[in-house]
């Protein structure tokens, strides 16, 4: 057995991770730890190499439960390769003295850009117009759904890094921007130059477009359901680039079917991906493949940050981006 610490990158088998040599992570770790990558089916037993690791870099799955954490006596850090950490029992890890860290800033620009891209596609009706033009039509049947952005209110749920980046982009496009986030400090609205509202209900009633940017927690799971969607203005838009389980998909699809929502732009959906042809055929729906974070630059930044946190952990140095 090697006397050096071990760092394991854990990937679900369905994730097309082709860098078998971990070329991004190796330069940060090769002098201090043995680095390996383990591919695993989502519900498969956790192998001994993972349980014995001194640091674990976790992609999208599998779940790291309290039972698994109890079998990781050497672990000095679990690092989620991404923003969300809902696949890790962070309370159990904290009880075991294991920091759980994430990489909250790697995709800030990309996700904010994606949220705005979905918003503009809805406002300018890009996909219906594209389909009409390709059918050799020229009637512009969706003209009534198109609006001048400066007359519209853009509501943001969650003003963290990505929410702030999205707010600044929306403001630059001429939207009146409002937000609700009970956790950001007083005066944040002054620093960013947007309006803070006291409740989610108020935001939903006032916004012409609602863009979701809060983390998935026990508090936010199912945050936007049938009651909340009913509060939205008729003809409004909903955008979600955060986590699918924050927004209940059945009432969203029902609101699109009956026309209460004029459109939805979803990079993430509850119980993703879409499950049926009927869901996919929902009118005025744009869906992308949980891809808002994607760019080569973002991936390198994310993986480098995870590797640097793992390096600090195995060296006994302070880690950062701790969520527990």
Cα first-last separation, the chain: 31
Q: How confident is the model at residue 110 (pLDDT cuts 50, 70, 90)?
A: very high
Q: Which residues contact 308 (CB under 8 A, 6 or more apart)?
A: 28
| Range 122-126 average pLDDT | 98
Is 2 a residue whose pLDDT tops 60? no
What distances in angstroms separate CA 217 from CA 55, 90, 179, 245, one per listed residue?
A: 24, 11, 19, 9
Per DSSP bridges, beta strands 6-12 and 55-58 are: parallel
What tokens were used for 97? 């003295």
Task: Give Cα 96 distance to the centre of its chain.
Answer: 27
Can you give the pLDDT at residue 33? Answer: 97
The pair of structure tokens assigned to 296 is 């080569």
- CA 16/CA 218 separation, integer angstroms: 29
* pLDDT for position 156: 98
Give me the residue spans of the domains in the chain.
6-106+295-314, 108-287
Query: Over the stretch 269-317, which tens digit does the pLDDT of each residue have?
Result: 999 999 999 999 999 999 999 999 999 999 999 999 999 999 999 999 9
Nearest CA to 215 among 141, 154, 163, 138?
Answer: 163
Q: Which pLDDT value is given to residue 61? A: 75
17 pLDDT band (50/70/90 cuts)?
A: low
Give 49-88 pLDDT, tens digit per residue: 999 999 999 997 789 999 999 999 999 999 999 888 889 9
Which tens digit of pLDDT belongs to each residue from 144-166?
999 999 999 999 999 999 999 99
pLDDT at 91: 96
pLDDT of residue 158: 98
Average pLDDT over residues 222-235: 98
Q: CA angle, 12 as apex, 8 and 18 as ends, to 5°?
A: 80
- The answer to whether the CB of 40 falls within 8 A of the CB of 11 is yes
Reported as type and span, the H/E element at residue 51 is helix 48-51
Q: Could you count the other beta carbons within 10 Å of the beta carbon of residue 201?
A: 13
Answer whether residue 196 shows pLDDT above 80: yes
Angle of CA points 26, 32, 35, to nearest 5°: 45
Query: Would the CA dihedral through 256, 258, 261, 262 be positive or negative?
Result: positive
Q: Report the C-alpha gap between 270 and 233 in whole angstroms.
A: 23
**Pairs from 318-321 (Cβ < 8 Å, separation ≥ 24):** 319/77, 319/99, 319/101, 320/101, 321/101, 321/102, 321/103, 321/104
pTM of the predicted model as reported, rounded to 2 decimal places: 0.87
Cβ neighbors of 36 (< 8 A, separation 6 or more) are 6, 7, 8, 9, 49
One CATH from 3.40.50.720, 3.40.190.10, 3.10.580.20, 3.40.50.410 for 108-287: 3.40.50.720
Q: What does the pLDDT average to over 110-126?
A: 98
Q: Which residues are catalytic?
A: 243, 272, 290
DSSP three-state, residue 106:
coil
Is 108-287 the same fold as 6-106+295-314?
yes
Pick the CATH number of 6-106+295-314 from 3.30.70.920, 3.30.565.10, 3.30.1330.10, 3.40.50.720: 3.40.50.720
Mean pLDDT of the residues in the chain:
95
- Are 300 and 27 a contacting pair, CB within 8 Å? no
């Amino acid at each position: 057995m090697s006397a050096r610490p071990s760092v394991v990158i854990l990937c679900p088998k369905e994730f097309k991770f082709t860098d078998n040599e971990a070329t991004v992570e190796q330069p940060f770790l090769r002098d201090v730890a043995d680095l390996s990558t383990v591919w695993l089916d989502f519900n498969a037993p956790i192998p001994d190499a993972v349980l014995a690791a001194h640091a674990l870099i976790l992609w999208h799955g599998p779940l790291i439960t309290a039972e698994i954490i109890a079998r990781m006596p050497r672990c000095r850090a679990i690092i989620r390769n991404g923003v969300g950490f809902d696949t890790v029992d962070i309370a159990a890890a904290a009880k075991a003295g294991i920091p759980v860290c994430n990489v909250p800033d790697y995709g800030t620009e990309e996700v904010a850009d994606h949220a705005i891209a979905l918003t503009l596609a809805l406002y300018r009706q890009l996909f219906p117009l594209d389909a009409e033009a390709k059918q050799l039509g020229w009637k512009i049947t969706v003209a009534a759904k198109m609006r001048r952005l400066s007359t519209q209110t853009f509501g943001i749920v969650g003003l963290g890094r990505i929410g702030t980046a999205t707010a600044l982009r929306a403001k630059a496009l001429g939207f009146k921007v409002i937000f609700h986030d009970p956790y950001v400090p007083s005066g944040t609205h002054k620093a960013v130059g947007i309006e803070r509202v006291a409740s989610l209900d108020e935001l939903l009633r006032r916004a012409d477009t609602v863009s979701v940017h809060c983390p998935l927690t026990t508090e936010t799971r199912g945050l936007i359901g049938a009651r909340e969607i009913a509060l939205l203005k008729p003809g409004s838009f909903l955008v979600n680039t955060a986590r699918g389980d924050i927004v209940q998909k059945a009432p969203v699809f029902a609101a699109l079917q009956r026309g209460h929502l004029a459109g939805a732009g979803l990079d993430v959906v509850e119980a993703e991906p879409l499950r049926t042809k009927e869901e996919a055929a929902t009118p005025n729906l744009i869906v992308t493949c949980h891809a808002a974070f994607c760019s080569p630059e973002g991936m390198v930044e994310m993986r480098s940050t995870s590797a640097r946190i793992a390096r600090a952990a195995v060296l006994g140095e302070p880690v950062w981006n701790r969520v527990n």
